[in-house]
Structure 1
């Protein structure tokens, strides 16, 4: 009686019949995990829940933060009176932005002229009747200039409309806080259009503060330029990450909860890191690096509190910052602006409850 032939799938040292090369299996597993995380993130954002996720993974926390403004908007729209006020205010502001922009020069006549020029071509035909050249009279540079001008006009007009009617956004934010269980950060008020000089001055100071904290890190980031070959690339990447970090911190700062540790918050990670360099690394233990460390602390000290809060919930607040960036399109920003402080407060309150 002959023995049965060995099964290749059970022979020691052999691979299953349906398995590919090791590299293929590794790539396939990676893409499966990545697609599962991406699907989970999309589902979390789409679910738009106010409660923090049970899954502690960074992807779930990031998606939760990105979906928070949607959850706040859903609560607003579900309420008859608050939803009606939200739609009326934001759509009226958007109509004003568009109308004033048109009045300032972006007229339909210019758009029609541009479309007409885009359709015109100059065709030269040789004696044999062959088409030898076809070129548009409007170049790419002219098109980019037009759309850039349109975008800049919309942004400027939108800022002016918000400056005059921002009390309506404050009232919407108060409605959103009450409907989602957050603490209202604005007192009850009857909104009206006004020229609020103190508010405009405060906004100007906040813009200046944002540039100061970003520029405070540029000297340290510039050290990457001395790395041979890849210095410029490393500097560009580090500058982008530094800017994204401050965007998320300043988004958290839109909620009054982020300022509860003002005057008592510890120094953020970059100040602690530079202090360690000047105290432990011989190359940095001299006057100029230490002087820069003092400057770095002084220029960023006023935002230690929101920076400390960000360090405790970096993924959730980064998600809220992503929603803020995606909602930064002129017109659409009017819908998102009153929701961001409420979303940030939900993250910070959950942070307080955990601690």
Structure 2
């Protein structure tokens, strides 16, 4: 197994070795492939310098913008530390105010009693006002409680941790937004890095040569939005089926807590394969496994052969027709693409994405090319002879 892992990205293209057959080996091959592609970039000084410079500059810009906007993110979180962390002045001043109000009420009550006694004796008295110097504390004022003597309650400690969690969540969201903007403006450099990596690992590049620059690509942004909508549609189309499958069982909520993450992970794997344009080239039109299973269930299984369920199957097929091709490619190499999807999930972290994003499409292309070459051994290998990025 480890021999396949250590062999690197050029293992299949240069040595003509078939992909590993063992599922564990496939998983580790897909998991390690992006890192081997990064190692292949080191063999060319120009490509390695561009890769490091782009990733480091993007990280510095993201950190700088997050530091600039962090106050607006922190202001949305209540950072009051609570009474257990309050300074001494915050405890002393309210106590002094309460003592002054109490002394004023006691003095007014004593004057009122004296006036009533004099009035009963027939003696008129002028209006008497009670004035208490607010800067003077009563002689018998209780000692001021020291801040260290305040007992921390468990609820207050939990509240402090909850506020800290909100703080870090706001910081994480800010970094994600800033990172998306930075990558959107500098994505040309990632495309150039992907092309360098393809040339250095002997796989045909999917992008044309270009001079990278910082720009706002409106067409690319529209495609990203449409892909996000398509991904949401194909994900949501399966939710009623998950609910239907969990309904007859005793614990629907617990089962959905398992089904929905598994369903999400499956589509993460499919769209990871879809990072390569080769994954969208299939013209077989064969439905993916979940549609085939639903068709079998609603046409052959007693108790499920209802026209309503069959109609929903046709609706489900129409909603997912556009992603049939990458879904079928995942069925051919589920374990390899699962390992690659795990790396892509790691690339969702802030700053890590700057280093891994340009490598994921090249790794997906390697898996697709290697599998097709192994499936048709008589056909010539698609990959060209290895070259250097600087020569290209």
**Pair in the same fold by TM > 0.5:** yes
What is the aligned partner in structure 2 of residue 3 from structure 1? none
Alpha-carbon deviation of 1:290? Answer: 1.3
Alpha-carbon deviation of 1:342? Answer: 0.2
Counterparts of 1:7-22 in structure 2 under 5 Å?
Answer: none
Normalised by the size of structure 2, how large is the TM-score?
0.72
What is the aligned partner in structure 2 of residue 265 from structure 1? 285
How far apart in 2 are the matches of 1:350 and 1:238? 32
What is the aligned partner in structure 2 of residue 248 from structure 1? 269
CA RMSD across the alignment: 3.1
What is the aligned partner in structure 2 of residue 153 from structure 1? 174
What is the aligned partner in structure 2 of residue 80 from structure 1? 45
What is the aligned partner in structure 2 of residue 223 from structure 1? 244
One of 203, 206, 216 as aligned partner of 1:195: 216
Runs of 4+ in structure 1 off by over 4 angstroms are 52-55, 106-110, 119-127, 135-138
How far apart in 1 are the matches of 2:349 and 2:166? 18
Any gaps of 5 or more consecutive residues in structure 2? 13-17, 92-142, 376-392
Is the 1:48–1:64 Cα contact (8 Å) retained in structure 2?
A: no
What is the aligned partner in structure 2 of residue 22 from structure 1? none
How far apart in 1 are the matches of 2:277 and 2:328? 14
Is the 1:48–1:70 Cα contact (8 Å) retained in structure 2?
A: no
What is the aligned partner in structure 2 of residue 211 from structure 1? 232
Find the residue that maps to 1:139 and give its secondary structure. Answer: helix
Provide Cα deviations, 1:293-318, integer angstroms capped at 9, x if missing partner.
01110111000000000000000011
How far apart in 2 are the matches of 1:82 and 1:94? 18
When residues 264 and 44 of structure 1 are mapped into structure 2, their CA distance, relative to the original with a 3 A threshold, is closer
Q: Whose Rg is larger? A: 2
How far apart in 2 are the matches of 1:203 and 1:55? 34
**1:133 maps onto 2:154 in alignment:** no
Alpha-carbon deviation of 1:177? Answer: 0.4
Is the 1:259–1:305 Cα contact (8 Å) retained in structure 2?
A: yes
What is the aligned partner in structure 2 of residue 102 from structure 1? 67
Alpha-carbon deviation of 1:264? Answer: 2.8
Provide Cα deviations, 1:310-332, integer angstroms capped at 9, x if missing partner.
00000001100001112221111
**1:239 maps onto 2:254 in alignment:** no
What is the aligned partner in structure 1 of residue 317 from structure 2? 297
How far apart in 2 are the matches of 1:79 and 1:290? 56
Any gaps of 5 or more consecutive residues in structure 1? 1-39
Is the 2:346–2:352 Cα contact (8 Å) retained in structure 1?
A: no
How far apart in 2 are the matches of 1:173 and 1:286? 49
Alpha-carbon deviation of 1:155? Answer: 0.4
What is the aligned partner in structure 1 of residue 378 from structure 2? none
Find the residue that maps to 2:53 and give its secondary structure. Answer: helix
When residues 308 and 293 of structure 1 are mapped into structure 2, their CA distance, relative to the original with a 3 A threshold, is same
Is the 1:252–1:310 Cα contact (8 Å) retained in structure 2?
A: yes
What is the aligned partner in structure 2 of residue 66 from structure 1? 31
Normalised by the size of structure 1, how large is the TM-score?
0.79
Alpha-carbon deviation of 1:108? Answer: 12
How far apart in 1 are the matches of 2:272 and 2:296? 28
How far apart in 2 are the matches of 1:55 and 1:340? 20
Alpha-carbon deviation of 1:126? Answer: 12
Find the residue that maps to 2:151 and give its secondary structure. Answer: strand
Number of aligned residue pairs: 309
How far apart in 2 are the matches of 1:350 and 1:331? 30
What is the aligned partner in structure 2 of residue 274 from structure 1? 294
Provide Cα deviations, 1:23-54, integer angstroms capped at 9, x if missing partner.
xxxxxxxxxxxxxxxxx67x865x36222687
**Which fold has the larger relative contact order, with Cα–Cα distance below 8 Å and residues 6 or more apart in sequence?**
2
How far apart in 2 are the matches of 1:338 and 1:176? 9
When residues 146 and 210 of structure 1 are mapped into structure 2, their CA distance, relative to the original with a 3 A threshold, is same
Alpha-carbon deviation of 1:163? Answer: 1.0
How far apart in 2 are the matches of 1:58 and 1:146? 41
Alpha-carbon deviation of 1:102? Answer: 1.5
How far apart in 2 are the matches of 1:327 and 1:55? 25
Is the 1:48–1:68 Cα contact (8 Å) retained in structure 2?
A: no
